[in-house]
Structure formats: C-alpha cells, structure tokens
C-alpha cells in the first residue's frame, strides 16, 4: 500500500495562529521533535518574509535530521514580471532546500479580486514560477490555493490551474480548502474529478478547520487517492486552525492500516505536549488521542469495564500513541474505580479492601462540600494517608494572617503581606513575607518558614493556578475551589482546596502541594539509592 506522506506546516501555517510567536530557537526545537516523530516533510517557514525565518534556514543546515526533509514556502511570481527577477522566488532558492512549496491562485474570483489580473496571466505566473525553480535544481510542490472553492465556482479554470502546474513539473499537486468551508463528501468527489483529469499527478490535501471537519476532509482525501496530508501539530493555524496531525496520523495508521510513521507513533503524545509547551499554549486536555482526558474514565461502570477489558470503553490502546489510561476519583466512582486508583498511587499507601466503602463515602461527602479529586490526584493521596493514619507529620500550621495594603499612589501595585506560624517538632517558626497578592504572599511566607528544614521545597514551582466559584448566588462570599498544579522540574502533581474564603482555599491547596512534594521527594531519594 502507498505510504502516506505527512507534511507538517506547524512552523509556517501553525505560526499564524493567534497567540503563537515562535522564536528561532523554538523552531529548531520543534524541527527536531517532528523529525523524531517521523514526519516526511517539515515546512520551516517563508524565507525572506522576516529576519527570523532567514536565520532559521541558515541554522537548519547544521541539523542532522533522520527522517524529515525541510521545505521552504513562498508564492508564484508577481504579475507582469519575470520569474528570474522575482525577489520571493530568488529568496526561496537561496534558502538552499531541496524542496520548495509555492502557492498560486486557483479560484477565478481570487484571481480577479485579489491579484487584480487576468486568468491567463495567473496561469503564466504558475507556469513560469515552477519552471524557474526547477531550472535551479529544486523539487516543487504546488499549493493550489482556494482550489475547492474555485472548483465549485468554475471547475474548468480550477482544473486548468493544476494542469498547468503539473505540466510545468510540480511533483505534488496540493489541493487546498483554504477557507475551510468544504465537507468531506465534496472533498472526495472533487479529488476524484481531478484524478480523472490528471491521472499521473500525485495529489495532496491541505485543509483548514473553519467547519470543524478538517480531519474528516483529510481522511476523505486519502480515501479518494491523495498520497500526502498537510497539517499542523495540535491543529494550530489561522482562524480556527489547520487539520490536526495528532488526529490524522493515528486515524490513518491505526484505523485505516496506512503506512504513515510506523513505530514512531508511540511518540505522538510526547511531541504534542512538548510543542504545546514550546508554543506556550495550554494543552487541550480533551483532545482526541493525545489529550490527558482522552482515556480518562469517571463513571464507575466505565472504570469497571475497562479494567476487565479495555475494548469496552476505549477505541484504541492509549499506550499505542504514548498516552495512558486514567481512572478518575469522584462521587460517581465505584469499587472498581477506587481499586484501580489505589493500584496506581504514587506514594504507595496500602489499603485493605474492607476499607474501600468508607473511602467512597468520604469522597462523596467531600465532593458534596465542593472538593473534586478528578484532577487533584495529590490531594486524594494526602486525604487517603490522613484517613489511614499513615501521613507523616512534617509540620503543623498554628495560624496565618494576610494583610493587603490599600494605601496606593498612582502607578503603584497593591502590596500584600502574610505571616505564618508553624511548628516542626518542638520548634515554633514565625515568618513574614510579601507578595504581589495575598496568595503569593502566603506561599512565600510558607516557603520561607519551611525551606531551612526542607530545602527541597525550593525546587517546587507553581505550574498552574485555577479559581472556580462554586455557588454564584453567594456573591463575593461564595464558596470557592482553588486547583493548583506544581512541578519540581521532573514530576507534576495537582492539589485542591475549598473554602468560603478564597485565601483559605488557596492555603489548603498550597499546603497539600508542599506535603505531596515532600513525600514524593522522599520516595525519589530512596529509589535513587
């Protein structure tokens, strides 16, 4: 069966997403990740569009890639000029990549309204540009921009544009749903029509997600005969994004049995999350395949089912793409859910089966008060150790106070001060610290008090902080849930606190975070020995 080429455009089309700005170093890191994943082509950017991309192409030359070929992206020559004198085309040549992808107009409306030229001149632009790049020793892929809209408007002219590109020597004819408005049945029918007119052309698909069907459209294109799929990791892209390769790759390889990236598919989740991190984007926990919740089971019946046989509620093995099953603890949990959760505790607490009903009842009581342990595994384990009488007594909070200064001058920030009194053994420690807000000040004061005795706390860093109002009818006095994610640079853990007082809710989450980190550090230290 024909191998399906994966053409990644995260660094160019994906970088056009709102809120994303890759540095040169970011792009180089992503290129290495994509190469490890085994994609066929990596579109590194548009040489000459900005100094950043020029630098990227200069530095790429020193990279040793194992799987991927780098491509440069640009457009056809300007109207009423020559290809040899076109600055964009010459910058593409100077980028020194073997493969160059250029886009050209395929919709008569776009030719007249955007390019402001004749249909004949547009064909000349396509032909001249491809032939010029080939004369410079380049392999050319032609992005047929707005092809599907163009075909629906004027099929004869749309087909003429790609026929011109094919006859000029383009190695791939990339049919683009640029506005993202087509559906999969249209994509399939139109690609079949193109193949009838160009039986020897190698067809590719480039879909945008404005109709939320870019993945379906890409799969339909492969079913129709496309040998290359273009897209981005995590679906980054302008407006609603591009076709998401993190869904396309496993669907093609695991569901359709196509040759895509082989064993490297087990790295998919790792690459997805690392690129989210580099892009400074919060990972979509509910993303198909790669999301943290993609194989999470909350209902007791579901948890019981997957424990017996994963096929009951999972469409693939999560390990096949580098993900993991998660059994969530909540007031909907049953005995099977709790048993599975207890088998995967990081702190290694031991619980007799007779005690499980009491744990379930305690969880239901706490969740009725507003606690949630779905995304607070660390707080769940701290609660469990306390219930079992197995929790070490690292410290005891004797009290805390938080003051916020309201005497401000123009341009000054609010200043908060927190004092905490803790007991470690027989020693009472009283510290005061400032912060940008009451929670920050309280966190600083706790760390200041504990660090001399537990220096490992200095490694614990806040990774995420969420506040949720549980009862909006309570107004400013409503019960509040605070969820905290913490990292020591290697491990990550989640804690939760609930109170009518937002500072106390944060305090409960922070204390659990510190306690869990101390326990985890103790376990890691033992394993290293």
The pLDDT tens digits for 272-317 are: 999 998 898 888 989 999 998 888 776 555 655 665 666 777 789 9
C-alpha to C-alpha distance for 137 and 132, rounded to whole angstroms? 9
Whether 155 and 209 map to the same domain: the answer is yes
Q: What phi and psi values does residue 146 have, to the nearest 5 degrees? A: 55, 30
Closest among 321, 236, 317 to 278, alpha carbons compared:
236
What phi-psi label fits residue 322: left (phi over 0), alpha (psi between -120 and 50 degrees) or beta? left
Say if 379 falls within a structural domain: no
Domain that holds residue 339: 296-364
How far is it, in rounded angstroms, from Cα 246 to Cα 284? Answer: 12
Does residue 473 have a pLDDT over 60? no
pLDDT value at residue 405 = 72
Cα–Cα dist 444/484, whole Å: 15
Q: Look up the pTM and report it.
A: 0.72
Q: 235 and 330, same structural domain?
A: no
| Domain co-membership, 273 together with 311 | no
pLDDT value at residue 121: 97
pLDDT (mean) for 446-473: 83
DSSP assignment letter at 302: H
Q: Are residues 158 and 39 in the same domain?
A: yes
Does 153 lie in the same domain as 119?
Answer: yes
| Pairwise CA distance, residues 29 & 6, whole Å | 19
181 and 325 in a single domain? The answer is no
What is the per-residue pLDDT across 15-73, written as a single tens digit (0 to 9) for each?
A: 999 999 999 999 999 999 999 999 999 999 999 788 889 999 999 988 999 999 999 99
pLDDT at 331: 46
- pLDDT at residue 351, as a whole number: 66
Find the mean pLDDT for residues 520-526: 67
Q: Do 258 and 114 belong to one domain?
A: yes
* Distance of alpha carbon 261 from alpha carbon 374, whole angstroms: 33
- Beta strands at 203-207 and 172-177: parallel, antiparallel or unpaired: parallel
Quickly state the pLDDT bin for 411 (edges 50, 70, 90). Answer: low
pLDDT of residue 288: 96
Higher pLDDT, 162 or 378: 162
Rounded to an integer, the average pLDDT of 462-484 is: 73
Structural domain ending residue among the three candidates 278, 308, 340:
278
pLDDT at 185 over 60: yes
Tell whether 371 is covered by a domain.
no
Q: Is residue 383 part of a domain?
A: no
Total number of domains in the chain: 3
Q: Which of 264, 256, 334 is CA-nearest to residue 301?
A: 334
Share of the chain above pLDDT 90, in %: 57
Quick check: is 374 in a domain? no
User: Taking residues 419-425, what's their average pLDDT?
Assistant: 91
What integer pLDDT is reported at residue 502 of this predicted model?
85
| Statement to judge: residues 333 and 470 lie in one domain | no
Predicted confidence (pLDDT) per residue in 6-25, tens digit: 999 999 999 999 999 999 99
How high does pLDDT run on average in the chain? Answer: 87
Cα–Cα distance between 269 and 287 in angstroms, integer? 11
- The DSSP symbol for 78 reads P
Query: What CATH number corresponds to the domain at position 197?
Result: 3.20.20.70
**Is 385 contained in some domain?**
no
Nearest-angstrom CA–CA distance, 481 and 504: 10
381 within a domain of the structure (yes/no): no
What's the pLDDT tens digit per position in 310-332? 677 778 999 999 988 776 665 45
417/141: higher pLDDT: 141
* Domain presence at residue 193: yes
Q: How far apart are CA 257 and CA 251, in angstroms?
A: 9
Q: Which of 175-189, 394-408, 470-484 has the highest mean pLDDT?
A: 175-189
> Distance between CA 99 and CA 116 in Å, rounded?
29
CATH code of the domain containing 520: 3.30.160.270
pLDDT per residue over 72-102, tens digit each?
999 999 998 999 999 999 999 999 999 999 9
């Amino acid at each position: 069966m024909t191998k399906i080429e994966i053409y990644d455009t995260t660094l160019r089309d994906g970088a056009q997403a709102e809120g994303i700005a890759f540095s040169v170093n970011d792009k180089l890191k992503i290129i290495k990740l994509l190469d490890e994943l085994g994609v066929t082509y990596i579109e590194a950017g548009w040489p000459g569009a900005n100094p950043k991309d020029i630098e990227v192409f200069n530095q790429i030359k020193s990279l040793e890639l194992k799987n991927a070929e780098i491509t440069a992206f640009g457009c056809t020559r300007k109207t009423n000029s020559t290809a040899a004198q076109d600055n964009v085309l010459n910058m593409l040549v100077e980028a020194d990549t073997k493969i160059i992808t250029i886009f050209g107009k395929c919709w008569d409306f776009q030719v007249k309204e955007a390019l402001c030229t004749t249909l004949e001149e547009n064909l000349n632009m396509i032909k001249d540009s491809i032939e010029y790049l080939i004369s410079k020793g380049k392999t050319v892929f032609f992005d047929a921009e707005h092809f599907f809209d163009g075909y629906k408007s004027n099929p004869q002219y749309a087909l003429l544009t790609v026929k011109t590109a094919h006859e000029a020597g383009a190695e791939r004819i990339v049919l683009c749903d640029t506005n993202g408005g087509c559906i999969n049945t249209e994509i399939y029918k139109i690609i079949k029509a193109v193949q009838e007119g160009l039986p020897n052309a190698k067809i590719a698909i480039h879909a945008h997600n404005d109709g939320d069907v870019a993945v379906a459209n890409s799969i339909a294109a492969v079913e129709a005969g496309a040998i290359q799929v273009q897209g981005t990791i995590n679906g980054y892209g302008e407006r609603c994004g591009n076709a998401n390769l993190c869904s396309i790759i496993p669907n093609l390889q695991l569901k359709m049995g196509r040759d895509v990236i082989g064993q490297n598919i087990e790295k998919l989740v790792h690459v997805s999350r690392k690129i989210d991190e580099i892009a400074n984007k919060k990972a979509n926990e509910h993303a198909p395949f790669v999301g943290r919740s993609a194989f999470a089971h909350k209902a007791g019946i579901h948890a019981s089912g997957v424990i017996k046989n994963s096929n009951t509620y999972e469409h693939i093995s999560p390990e096949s793409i580098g993900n993991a099953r998660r059994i969530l603890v909540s007031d909907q949990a049953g005995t099977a859910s709790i048993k599975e959760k207890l088998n995967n505790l990081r702190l290694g607490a031991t619980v007799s089966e007779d005690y499980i009903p009491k744990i379930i009842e305690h969880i239901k009581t706490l969740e009725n008060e507003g606690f949630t342990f779905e995304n607070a595994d660390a707080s769940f384990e701290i609660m469990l150790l306390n219930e079992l009488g197995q929790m070490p007594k690292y410290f005891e909070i004797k009290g805390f106070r938080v003051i916020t200064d309201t005497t401000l001058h123009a341009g000054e920030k609010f200043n908060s001060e927190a004092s905490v009194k803790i007991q470690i053994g027989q020693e009472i420690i009283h510290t005061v610290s400032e912060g940008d807000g009451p929670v920050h000040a309280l966190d600083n004061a706790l760390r200041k008090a504990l660090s001399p005795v537990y220096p490992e706390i200095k490694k614990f860093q806040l990774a995420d902080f969420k506040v949720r109002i549980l009862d909006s009818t309570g107004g400013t006095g409503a019960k509040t849930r605070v969820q905290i994610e913490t990292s020591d640079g290697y491990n990550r853990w989640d804690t939760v606190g609930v109170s009518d007082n937002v500072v106390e809710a944060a305090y409960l989450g922070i204390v659990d975070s510190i306690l869990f980190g101390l326990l985890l550090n103790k376990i890691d230290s033992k394993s290293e020995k």
